[in-house]
Amino acid sequence: MKKFLLVILITLLINACGEKLPIEDDYSKIETELLNQDSVKVNFNDILLGKNTVIGYIFTNCPDICPLTTNNMRLIQEQANEEGIENLQFVSVSFDPEVDKPSVLKKYSEIRNLDTSNWTFLTGDKETVDGLMKRLGIIAVVGDSSVTSDGNTVYFYVHTDRIALIDSKGQLRKNYKGSELDKNLVVNDIKLLEE
């Protein structure tokens, strides 16, 4: 009986050490042409394939969740760099393409002093971006708007608060709440993909 329990314990320990993240969805076949922050046409699935990807969804006029999400991605990037994780990239996709043109996304990254050596910002035409958001399960609808005293319209999106981890084969492995996440957990999950 003791031998049997010992075998079970060893088996459980071995399985725990080899823990892998489950595949939640497959994005490798999403053929969507977008523009990056340098106005270069890119295919969404080409961006994803070959490197593990931390991806977030933003709009640059967002006053709260998107800046937090972007900052959390920056913190993950810094920690991953410190820990020597190399096969990793970051992608931010705007769901407000009518405002977030490539030049706006580039300025957004520059203002935040982001390291864009492995971070791509994506936008496109409204129909394409809306289709991509639907496929990725991201909800973004324009909420209330108001007009300021100088006549400018201020609007907000009610949107999904998410950062996702996608493996180098374009498979979704895990979703996190973008504005409130534990960067150590994400970095540890990235390491699981590298094993």
94 within 8 A of 59, measured Cβ to Cβ: yes
Is 80 exceeded by the pLDDT of residue 147?
A: no
> What number is the average pLDDT over the span 1-7?
53
> Is 5 among the domain residues?
no
Asked whether residue 17 is assigned to any structural domain, the reply reads no
pLDDT at 11 over 90: no
Asked if residue 16 belongs to a domain, the reply is: no
Whole-number pLDDT of residue 19? 61
Tell me whether residue 31 is in a domain.
yes
**82 found inside a domain:** yes
Angstrom distance (rounded) from CA 162 to CA 169: 20
Which CATH number does the domain housing residue 89 bear?
3.40.30.10
Domain range for 70: 23-194
Between 183 and 9, name the one with better pLDDT.
183
Mean confidence (pLDDT) of the chain? 88
In a domain, 11, yes or no: no
In a domain, 14, yes or no: no
- Quick check: 96 pLDDT over 70? yes
Long-range CB contacts (within 8 A, 24+) of 43-51: 44/122, 44/132, 45/170, 47/89, 47/91, 47/120, 47/122, 48/91, 48/166, 48/170, 49/168, 49/169, 49/170, 50/168, 51/87, 51/88, 51/89, 51/118, 51/168
Is residue 13 situated within a structural domain? no
pTM (predicted TM-score)? 0.86
Please, which pLDDT band fits residue 12 given cuts at 50, 70 and 90? very low
pLDDT band per the 50, 70, 90 thresholds, residue 2: low
Structural domain count, the chain: 1
Kindly state the average pLDDT of the residues 92-112. 96
